[in-house]
């Protein structure tokens, strides 16, 4: 007795029949070359981060070791974040612009050992601000836009002078991309690129990162500068502004819950689109995998592939090295 036969001219399963056929038909590539590894650095010995299992606050030596490990696996881009001791945090965040600070030292250390690795830096005041905000806080508690942009320009210049390839303003102040561009050009750093955090949402998923840096706002929240998670059209407004101001790349952050915005950017942007799989997205997978409720490796490649499929050219992810290992 033969099986009942449907008269189907189209059987999509034919294209999934064997691994080789599936590989042949695959529409989206995920390779280490697209990934950027965020790294934390501090003044002290290598130390595991409680809120982000598997991640570390690195010493300068530990940092270059991680850069080496990533590069060997094909991840040749990193973005740096500094965990700042409480004693160096001030309301003016002046340590952010210290040419002898830890980020300039880290840039030099990486460039001395791995000149080919792309070094990106975070431009924002929160790790350096005793009030924990990305911008300067006025006595009445409001975040001062234009005064902050001046400090961000100085911070970005400090990173450029130390040898950063790309500066990445994550603060969400209006007009900072254009101001940083003008200031870099004025100081002969027209080769240094700007990766704009263009659609950065006021997200609950940054919690583990703020744990890593002890950088949570000491009062209030970030909703007067980071975007409302409910808004999609507004992201296009930010996109148009950042491109007009000279951004070399535009970013959506977080990634997973905002894939519609990633797709909008991919369809509209004239510069490459980045997406940031943030600390909370990382922790959700790590925590679920730690209790064996999901397959960690499969979840990593699936979420990263989804972000690529939505249209991201570049993905910032704490899984970068691990993903490169999995992709083999
Ligand atoms: C700081 C900054 C944050 C992140 C990147 N840069 C935190 C914030 O805006 O509060 C979050 C990254 C992550 O959660 O992985 N400007």
Atom of ligand 1 nearest to the CA of 124: 16
Cβ of residue 168 lying under 6 Å from some atom of ligand 1 = no
For ligand 1, the distance from its centroid to the CA atom of residue 231, given in whole angstroms, is 19
Phi and psi at residue 136, in whole multiples of 5°? -75, 140
Which residues participate in catalysis according to the annotation?
A: 200, 253
CA atoms of 322 and 325, how far apart (whole Å): 5
Of 133, 101, 131, 106, whose CA–CA distance to 119 is shortest? Answer: 106
| Tally of CB atoms within 10 A around 185 | 13
Q: Which of 216, 278, 316, 319 to mutate to test the pocket of ligand 1 (most atoms within 8 A of CB)?
A: 278
Cβ of residue 170 lying under 6 Å from some atom of ligand 1 = yes
For ligand 1, the distance from its centroid to the CA atom of residue 85, given in whole angstroms, is 18
Atom of ligand 1 nearest to the CA of 206: 14
For ligand 1, the distance from its centroid to the CA atom of residue 289, given in whole angstroms, is 23
pLDDT in single tens digits along all 328 residues of the chain: 677 799 999 999 999 999 999 999 999 999 999 999 999 999 999 999 999 999 999 999 999 999 999 999 999 999 999 999 999 999 999 999 999 999 999 999 999 999 999 999 999 999 999 999 999 999 999 999 999 999 999 999 999 999 999 999 999 999 999 999 999 999 999 999 999 999 999 999 999 999 999 999 998 999 999 999 999 999 999 999 999 999 999 999 999 999 999 999 999 999 999 999 999 999 999 999 999 999 999 999 999 999 999 999 999 999 999 999 999 9
For ligand 1, the distance from its centroid to the CA atom of residue 154, given in whole angstroms, is 20
DSSP code of residue 249 = E
Peptide bond into 24 cis (omega under 30): no
Residues 6+ apart with CB under 8 A from 317: 35, 36, 37, 38, 276, 277, 282, 304, 323
Atom of ligand 1 nearest to the CA of 134: 16
Report which protein residue has its CA nearest ligand 1's atom 8. Answer: 206
- What value does the CA radius of gyration of the chain take, rounded to a whole number of Å? 21
Contact, 16 vs 22, CB < 8 A?
yes
Contact, 179 vs 149, CB < 8 A?
yes
Tell me, what's the pLDDT at 1? 60
Q: 226 forms bridges with which residues in the sheet?
A: none
Report which protein residue has its CA nearest ligand 1's atom 14. Answer: 206
Report which protein residue has its CA nearest ligand 1's atom 6. Answer: 170
Contact, 316 vs 38, CB < 8 A?
yes
Q: How many CA atoms lie within 13 A of 325 on its CB side?
A: 9
Q: 119 forms bridges with which residues in the sheet?
A: 78
The H or E element spanning position 184 is helix 176-186
DSSP code of residue 231 = -
């Amino acid at each position: 007795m033969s099986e009942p036969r449907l008269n189907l001219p189209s059987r999509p399963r034919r294209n999934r029949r064997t691994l080789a056929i599936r590989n042949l038909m695959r529409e989206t590539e995920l390779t280490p070359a697209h990934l950027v590894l965020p790294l934390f650095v501090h003044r002290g010995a290598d130390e595991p981060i409680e809120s982000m299992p598997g991640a570390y606050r690195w010493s300068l030596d530990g940092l270059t070791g991680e850069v080496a490990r990533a590069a060997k696996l094909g991840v040749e881009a990193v973005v740096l974040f500094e965990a700042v001791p409480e004693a160096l945090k001030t309301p003016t965040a002046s340590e952010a612009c210290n040419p002898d600070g830890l980020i300039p030292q880290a840039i030099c250390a990486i460039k001395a050992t791995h000149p080919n690795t792309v070094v990106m830096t975070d431009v924002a005041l929160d790790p350096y601000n005793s009030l924990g905000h990305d911008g300067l806080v006025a006595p009445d508690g409001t975040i001062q836009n234009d005064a902050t942009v001046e400090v961000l320009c100085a911070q970005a210049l400090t990173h450029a002078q130390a040898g950063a390839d790309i500066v990445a303003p994550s603060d969400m102040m209006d007009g900072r991309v254009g101001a940083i561009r003008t200031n870099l050009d004025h100081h002969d750093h027209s080769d240094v690129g700007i990766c704009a955090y263009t659609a950065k949402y006021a997200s609950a998923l940054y919690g583990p990162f703020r744990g890593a840096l002890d950088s949570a706002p000491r009062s209030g929240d970030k909703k007067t500068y980071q975007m409302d998670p409910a808004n999609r059209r507004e992201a296009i407004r930010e996109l148009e502004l950042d491109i007009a101001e000279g951004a070399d790349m535009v970013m959506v952050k977080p990634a997973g819950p905002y894939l519609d915005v990633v797709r909008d950017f991919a369809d509209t942007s004239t510069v490459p689109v980045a997406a940031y799989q943030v600390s909370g997205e990382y922790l959700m997978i790590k925590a679920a995998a730690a209790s064996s409720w999901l397959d960690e490796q499969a979840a990593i490649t699936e979420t990263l592939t989804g972000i690529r499929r939505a249209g991201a050219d570049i993905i910032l992810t704490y899984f970068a090295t691990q993903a490169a290992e999995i992709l083999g």
